[in-house]
């Protein structure tokens, strides 16, 4: 057997749950044969013995991981204070008992183990052994029977202690619902939204296996490869507020569509129906303009001239857009330049731009867009995010009320190809509601909804209009669903049919 790739792992999901009798049967077998004897023979202890519920969560997550990728491991902390039973972010109240259960399963040969060193930042990895896999195979459990607990918290307040290192990753902060008058309303909407997502089949039609391989660079510059799960067990979405403030951020986070590139997103089907991603470019610039009481130019990122010799007009526009967005988020102009380079792909022209070149581009942008100059280098991005998140929230609320799925990628939205005209209409309504006026938000992508809504066109434009419709029909006719996708979708339909009987 080849050595296990320990980088192919993910953290234990403590929200796995199922009420299906097939699941309970497997848990009963493992508990009575392997776990209960170990704990019933234990000496008297000040701590309560582990219970069956904790083992159920662990076994369910192991089953999901093994089903989606047999080579994947699960990272689990063996530090007891890592489990906070009274935390609102731990809906099933998983306690340190799960450590004892894990060790018991290891001792009786049901789990493989790579012991980590948490002091060195290396978490322990576990995976099902051949014996446990045999139990999985003999059970009648289907992946569709397992879901995340519906009580999982979907309103998250992130932040750090004021004295924490600025580079320390923000963590969820405990709060009370009474801390803000809108928390319960936000949660009601998000729970309804996640219910719509749970009831919708969302997948990518050309993936034989339900994952996408991605790379990232760690703090030491080392490139790491990891897998993004695509499908029904990576759809949960939270609304996350930043810096310990209900007035900052509030963006929607979660769902595999936020973790893959636009090339994969373009192949997403919702309930086996083609989709369109409508990207409202220039969202933050447009919001800043609106807050200053004016409208932005049609494309604020496209400067009047090309100022960098080795960049094309489109390459310069892309650089300006990224630079301005970094400028909104940075506390200083200098910080914006460094953040810009960090955000560029290795080997690209943009990655090699010097501070003087970036300064030239930013100054030209400010000259052509003086109304928003005060937002550059002043750490305003997180405030603007609250506005764009409120706009996105209103849009998903309206779609949810109609029972229609919509996928949010901050300033772009993925909808079924007939829904994009409603999306544009709701965008106008939401921006007016949130910032007090309709703002010009261009989107170059059109689906059937928008194209069919274009009435009373000038005769000169009708030919182009009908060609666009025919082109879209042609593109949809070329969609080829691979065998892996077709098998996953047919299983989903069969499960839904059986579940509704």
Sorted by sequence, the CB contacts under 8 Å of residue 287 that are 6+ apart come out as 384, 387, 388, 435, 439
- pLDDT above 60 (res 2): no
Give whichever of 68-77, 338-347, 481-490 has the largest mean pLDDT: 481-490
Which pLDDT value is given to residue 50? 64
- pLDDT above 60 (res 49): no
pLDDT digits (tens, 9 = 90+) for 344-387: 877 888 888 999 999 999 999 999 999 999 999 888 888 999 99
Which pLDDT value is given to residue 44? 42
- pLDDT above 50 (res 47): no
Q: Which residues make beta-bridge pairs with 227?
A: 213
Distance CA 320, CA 300 (A): 9
Residue 463 DSSP SS3:
helix
Q: pLDDT class for 125, splitting at 50, 70, 90?
A: very high
| Region of poorest pLDDT, from 38-42, 104-108, 457-461 | 457-461
Which pLDDT value is given to residue 45? 46
Which candidate, 488, 501, 469, 500, places its Cα nearest to that of 144? 488
- pLDDT above 60 (res 134): yes
221 vs 93, which has greater pLDDT? 93
Residue 252 DSSP SS3:
strand
Sorted by sequence, the CB contacts under 8 Å of residue 403 that are 6+ apart come out as 196
Distance CA 196, CA 81 (A): 35
Distance CA 443, CA 337 (A): 27
- What percentage of the chain reaches a pLDDT higher than 70? 88
- pLDDT above 80 (res 469): no
Distance CA 499, CA 396 (A): 27
Distance CA 113, CA 353 (A): 46
What's the whole-number mean pLDDT along residues 326-347?
Answer: 88
- pLDDT above 70 (res 467): no
Q: Which residues make beta-bridge pairs with 225?
A: 215
Which pLDDT value is given to residue 468? 65
pLDDT digits (tens, 9 = 90+) for 66-104: 998 898 999 999 999 889 989 999 999 999 999 999 999
Which candidate, 412, 149, 387, places its Cα nearest to that of 280? 412
Per residue, what are the HEC states of 301-319? CCCCCCCCCCCCHHHHHHH
Which candidate, 204, 207, 213, places its Cα nearest to that of 5? 213
Which candidate, 238, 27, 306, places its Cα nearest to that of 146? 27
| Region of poorest pLDDT, from 14-18, 87-91, 232-236, 460-464 | 460-464
What's the whole-number mean pLDDT along residues 156-165?
Answer: 75
* Global pTM value: 0.88
Distance CA 348, CA 340 (A): 12
What's the whole-number mean pLDDT along residues 177-187?
Answer: 97
Which pLDDT value is given to residue 406? 97
């Amino acid at each position: 057997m080849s050595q296990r790739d320990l980088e192919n792992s993910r953290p234990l999901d403590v929200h796995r749950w199922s009420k299906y009798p097939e699941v309970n049967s497997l848990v009963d077998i493992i508990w009575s044969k392997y776990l209960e004897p170990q704990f019933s023979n234990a000496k008297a202890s000040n701590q309560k013995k582990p219970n069956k519920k904790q083992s159920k969560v662990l076994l369910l997550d192991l089953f999901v991981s093994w089903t989606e990728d047999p080579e994947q491991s699960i990272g689990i902390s063996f530090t007891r204070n890592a489990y906070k039973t009274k935390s609102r972010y731990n809906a099933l109240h998983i306690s340190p008992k799960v450590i004892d259960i894990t060790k018991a399963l290891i001792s009786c040969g049901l789990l493989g183990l790579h012991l980590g060193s948490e002091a060195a930042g290396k978490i322990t990895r576990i995976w099902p052994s051949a014996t446990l896999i045999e139990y999985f195979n003999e059970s009648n459990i289907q992946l569709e029977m397992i879901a995340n607990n519906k009580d999982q918290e979907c309103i998250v307040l992130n932040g750090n202690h004021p004295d924490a290192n600025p580079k320390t990753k923000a963590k969820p902060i405990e709060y009370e619902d009474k801390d803000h008058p809108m928390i319960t309303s936000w949660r009601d909407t998000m729970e309804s939204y996640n219910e719509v997502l749970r009831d919708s089949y969302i997948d990518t039609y050309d993936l034989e296996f339900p994952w996408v391989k991605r790379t990232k660079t760690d703090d030491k510059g080392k490139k790491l490869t990891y897998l993004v799960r695509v499908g029904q067990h990576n759809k949960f979405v939270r609304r996350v507020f930043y810096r310990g403030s209900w007035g900052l951020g509030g963006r929607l986070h979660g769902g595999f569509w936020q973790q893959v590139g636009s090339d994969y997103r373009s192949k997403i089907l919702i309930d086996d129906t083609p989709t369109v991603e409508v990207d409202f470019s220039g969202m933050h610039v447009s919001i800043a303009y609106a807050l200053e009481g004016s409208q932005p130019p049609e494309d604020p990122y496209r400067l009047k001239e090309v100022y960098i010799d080795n960049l094309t007009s489109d390459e310069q526009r892309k650089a300006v857009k990224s630079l301005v967005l970094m400028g909104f988020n940075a506390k200083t102009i200098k910080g914006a330049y460094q953040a810009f380079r960090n955000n560029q792909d290795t080997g690209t022209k943009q990655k090699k731009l010097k501070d003087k070149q970036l300064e030239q581009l930013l100054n030209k942008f400010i000259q052509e867009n003086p109304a928003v100059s005060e937002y550059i280098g002043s750490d305003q991005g997180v405030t603007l995010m609250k506005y764009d998140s409120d706009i996105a929230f209103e849009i998903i609320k309206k779609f949810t009320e109609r029972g229609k799925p919509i996928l949010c990628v901050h300033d772009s939205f993925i909808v079924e190809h007939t829904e994009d005209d409603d999306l544009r209409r709701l965008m106008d309504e939401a921006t007016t509601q949130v910032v007090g006026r309709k703002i010009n938000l261009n989107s170059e992508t059109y689906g059937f909804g928008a194209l069919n809504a274009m009435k009373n066109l000038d005769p000169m434009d009708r030919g182009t209009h009908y060609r666009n419709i025919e082109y879209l029909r042609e593109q949809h006719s070329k969609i080829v669903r691979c065998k892996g996708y077709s098998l996953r979708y047919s299983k989903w339909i069969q499960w839904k049919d059986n579940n509704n009987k």
